[in-house]
Structure 1
Amino acid sequence: MPLPEQPAGRPLKVAQFTDNYGPGSNGLMYAVQQLEGNLLDAGHEVIVVAPATKGPNPHHGRPGRTEMRLPSVRVPKMPTRVANGRHFDRTMDRIAELRPDVIHVHGFGPIGALGTWVSRRLDIPMLLTWHTDFDAYADHYSTVLPLLTGVVRAFARLTNGEVLNADDLRLAEVRYEDRGRSTALLLGLCQKMLESAVLVTTPSPKTATRCSQMAPTANVRVVPNGVDPLPPGPPPFAGPDGPLVLYAGRIAPEKGIPLLADAFTLVHARRPDARLCVVGDWERYPSIRRVLAQGRDAGRIILPGEQKRDALGAYYGMADVFAFPSLTDTQALVLHEAALAGLPIVSVDHELRLVIDPGVNGEIARPTPASLAAALMRVLDRLEDDGWRSRAKARSIELASQWTIESQAREMLATYAEVADRSPVSVG
């Protein structure tokens, strides 16, 4: 729903620096594009700085919007492109001409680092939104680290050591010496980016804790991403005779899909009429493809492939329970979508509880096949009780309804005005 123009306060110009703007759809890209639309709808201007990629761009050509795409390279074995460091000086000159009121940095990649540099050099206040559990992702995406290490070193030279210096690196290596030099370099940069921001927003208390651990002096505020119910639709396939467990979302090594497949093998042994539906691009990673194909061939798993976001409402509508096997998400919009559809949820992430009230509308298991299977069975058994099912549905909807697209938009627009009226935080 478009927001009315702001009744008070000056129009703002906000520069969004993001390393993740396609090509495939993902939660971060969706969040950034939602913010773009909120700002434009309210009569503000937006500058988007992102890697050159092919991807969906619903705001292209709208008045008040400027887009800068920087040369990029593909990350090996991943559907991702990152800026390669070229045209950084040219981009800063262009930003200086446009003179935004706020720099909004999304994440810690090359363009996020560029946004921090631009903020410091041009004396523009910076808002940083921390979308990613970097500590967890580093374990899964070791191939990315050498690429980003080069950017860190170049960034340190460009800033003459103002953002990253030898003392910072030594401290990082002591705190994270078992994670490797590449991870230590990046954690040192992450710390300085957090400390450089006037305000850091995170989508969940889990991520706020991570940020405060990394940079205790950072000014951190929790602002969950807003989600509205997805449109319902007719069942996309013939439902099973028994209960349907659903996972929908991005399928990648850090998402815990093999864990879910192993757990459901145990569930299926007790409930042969149950089925697991995994919605997403399940063929991208060979090891995951192999596990899911085995479950499909055995008749346990349904694999409809990747679906457009608006089509997911039909899958939520025919499911009985939503399973979430990831430990690396910072909010997980799919959890909110599932809760808004009234589904009970079984998760393995004890820190991510925005829409889960254990025992009331779901369960939180340990990240092992046996524990996850046991939690799924407890929920499936309770669903036989119509009263429990009704209470679980009401609680899921109640929790998820706290953060709508409109309420988040109003909070973020007020946050932009707040940051624009402050002086940038200086770090030594």
Structure 2
Amino acid sequence: MMLTRILLTVVTAGASLASFAAYALLLRYLGASADLDQLFYAGSLPVAVSGMLAGVLAYLLPPRLTRLSYRHQDTVTRALSLLVAGATAIALAVGLASLAAQPAQCRFWLLWIGFALFAGLSLLVSVLSCLAQARGDYIATGWAPLAMSGGLFTGAMVAITTRQVWWLLLGQLAGGFVALQWLAWRLPLNWRGLSGQRRQALAALRSLRASALPITLGTAAFTLFQPLDAWLCRPLGEGSLTTMSFAQRVLVAVSTVISLGAYVIAAKTSRDTLRTGGVGALLCQANREAMRLVSAGLLAVVAYVIGGRWVLGLLLESSSLHSADLDRLLDTIGWMLVGVGPMAAMPYLCRVFYSMKSYVVPAALGTAVPVGYVTLGWLLSRPLDVKGLAFSYSIVWWLTFATALLSLRKIDRLQSTH
């Protein structure tokens, strides 16, 4: 299992590195511009909704699919794919209607429509990735993001060459299509004769309805930052949203490396530990894993202070990115990195809670994170600019992590008394 985790980490780290490189090159050659801001504004809502739904599927679906035969797994996958296709069509219709109603905002709504299509492709990739997890093909869950990041990187190269940022979106669409086709080829899907089994598929998912809402709320902690940043950055001037978007990309890349794939395989490892050793063994494992992630996050902060900031500044420094914008970006990344350990640990801890059929704490924390972030961010960004958002980010994640650990200890004490 450790070899799988290491290989999965290498693949997912490669995907994060490709995304990081794409955004770094965009900043270096195009700067923190209004055009890039508009691109991120247009994609903020569709990508956030897609990310939230993908997170819900990742938590709910693999454990349920493992209890079904391959034939029923195919049935469920087909039904969910049809639902995603229908929702994507509705989103595209909304975008077209908005475009017709606001022709003056033509560029924005065309970008929004493109991101809505990309969100649908991403969700379809997520559905097939859940099927891959259920069948034990964990590496497939890493190759798909790598293909999508490759599309993003290619789009960034063309955008830099042509000085047209919308090529970035086209690259993402191409990457999503390649990832979807690769997963469909990788998995032995047999969809013939499944049209009459939709009722069986929905019946197989019916037991998930009770936990769908709390898991959706729990996933909000990881998926709503982009639209919240879009709202918080509006009064902060040109380039602010680009700065926050790149900083988030750095955080995702670092958290991927320090997590060693723990959150991906936690559904199985947590369930196996719970079966063999009980709640006590599961909580001991969770505490060890959480401390490892937080310690690795603190080491990442030290590495950034010692030399990472200088290296990143050297990579990004150019005539297109003004020195004031570069300093603001590097400061923002530094303060956000303080929260990378707790942020990387929380997806794993949420899976631990779900393994114990405990949904209230993750739902409460998932709701509190965006509320706390937007409140603190609004207060601190007034005097501190984007750096105030970075402070808010780290504060919220540390408070959330501490609350999660205290909740686990409370469960442990309750189990001990009984």
Pairwise TM-score range, normalised by the shorter structure? under 0.3
Relative contact order, higher structure (CA 8 A, sep 6+):
2
Indicate the structure with greater helix content. 2
TM-score (normalised: structure 2): 0.25
Indicate the structure with greater strand content. 1
